Amino acid sequence: MAVLAAAGCTGQVDERRAGAARQQVALKKKAVPKPLPPRRMDCAAVKCLALTFDDGPGEYTARVLDDLRKAGARATFYMLGQNVGSHPDVVRRMPLEGHEVANHSWSHADMTGLSSGAVRSEVRRTQEAIKRASGVAPTSFRPPYGSTDARVGKAVGMPQILWSVDSLDWLHRNVRKNVRAGVSEPEKGGVVLFHDIHKPTVTAVPEILAGLKKRGFTLVTVTELFQGQRLDPGGRYTELGEKGPTVAQ
């Protein structure tokens, strides 16, 4: 009887152990967060707008992510490869929270002044840094200063996304002006340029998000905005027009 009881007891312990192990496996599986994929957006029908933040990641980028999350908004971050290593956790958050990671070169050089080999190197190193930090490789490029040409485009090898609204936040460094530009200037299908490395820009973000929501915009990533549209490698695009992507002049 005593032997049987002991055996029964051991069996229970084994079962408990197996259960705990199964639970741990389940927890481990759950603990690996997955990037939120782009949503299916019909931006011909929906009033879509893509906010983009350039030149980061920086010390204020986490605040932008917090504010976007509170507002249920998505954005695209055109990052400099040289900044990624200082803020890997922030970059890691981006795809997990539905935002798009994007390539803005390694060093913010004017690409038209570089050899094609140097352009390729700027792009490749930045791709690698962002992929390493976030697990996701960018699918679009924004040339620093918007400066590019056919040769640069060919070396970049990805669609080049410019903008339809320049907030001039880098020039004004003024919260009120950022809010005014960010809320009143965008139109349906637009791409808005901001810089998350400037404090007045980041301070303006909650009010901009609220103002755009009031105007009926759905804030989407660049990929969501141009979804289902053909973007050519090296091509230059500024916004989503009535008839599809608007090509830069």
Q: Considering only residues 144 through 163, tell me which ones interact with Zn ion, judged by CB under 5 A.
A: 144
Selecting among 54, 55, 67, 169, the annotated active-site residue is 54
Q: How far is the CB of 104 from Zn ion (least distance, A)?
A: 6
Q: How far is the CB of 230 from Zn ion (least distance, A)?
A: 26
Selecting among 169, 195, 196, 198, the annotated active-site residue is 195
CA–CA dist 169, 1 (Å, integer): 82
| Residue span binding Zn ion (CB under 5 A) among the ranges 51-59, 88-96, 123-131, 162-170 | 51-59
CA–CA dist 169, 146 (Å, integer): 15
CA–CA dist 50, 161 (Å, integer): 11
Residues near 230 by beta carbon (within 8 Å), at least 6 away in sequence: 244, 245
Rank residues 55 and 196 by Cβ distance to Zn ion and give the closer one.
Answer: 55
Q: What residue spans of the chain are helical by DSSP H?
A: 2-31, 61-71, 81-84, 88-96, 116-134, 150-156, 169-172, 175-184, 199-214, 222-225
**Does 54 sit near Zn ion (CB under 5 A)?**
yes
195 among known catalytic residues: yes
| Residue span binding Zn ion (CB under 5 A) among the ranges 110-118, 138-146, 149-157, 159-167 | 138-146
Q: Percentage helix, strand, coil, to 5, in the chain?
A: 50, 15, 35
Cis amide bond preceding 95, omega within 30: no
Rank residues 54 and 122 by Cβ distance to Zn ion and give the closer one.
Answer: 54
Rank residues 196 and 224 by Cβ distance to Zn ion and give the closer one.
Answer: 196
CA–CA dist 45, 22 (Å, integer): 47
**Does 55 sit near Zn ion (CB under 5 A)?**
yes
| Residue span binding Zn ion (CB under 5 A) among the ranges 59-67, 86-94, 140-148, 212-220 | 140-148
Q: How far is the CB of 122 from Zn ion (least distance, A)?
A: 13
Contact 53, 195 (CB under 8 A): yes
Torsion angle of the four alpha carbons 89, 91, 92, 98, in this order, in degrees rounded to the nearest 10: 140
Tokens of 199: 């404090």
Q: How far is the CB of 41 from Zn ion (least distance, A)?
A: 26
| Residue span binding Zn ion (CB under 5 A) among the ranges 11-19, 50-58, 130-138, 176-184 | 50-58
Rank residues 41 and 196 by Cβ distance to Zn ion and give the closer one.
Answer: 196
Q: How far is the CB of 125 from Zn ion (least distance, A)?
A: 16
54 among known catalytic residues: yes
CA–CA dist 195, 218 (Å, integer): 20
Residue type, 206: P
Give φ, ψ of 247 to 5 degrees: -85, 135
Q: How far is the CB of 195 from Zn ion (least distance, A)?
A: 7
Number of residues engaging Zn ion in binding (CB under 5 A): 3
Residues in contact with Zn ion by CB under 5 A are 54-55, 144
Q: What are the residue numbers of the active site?
A: 54, 195
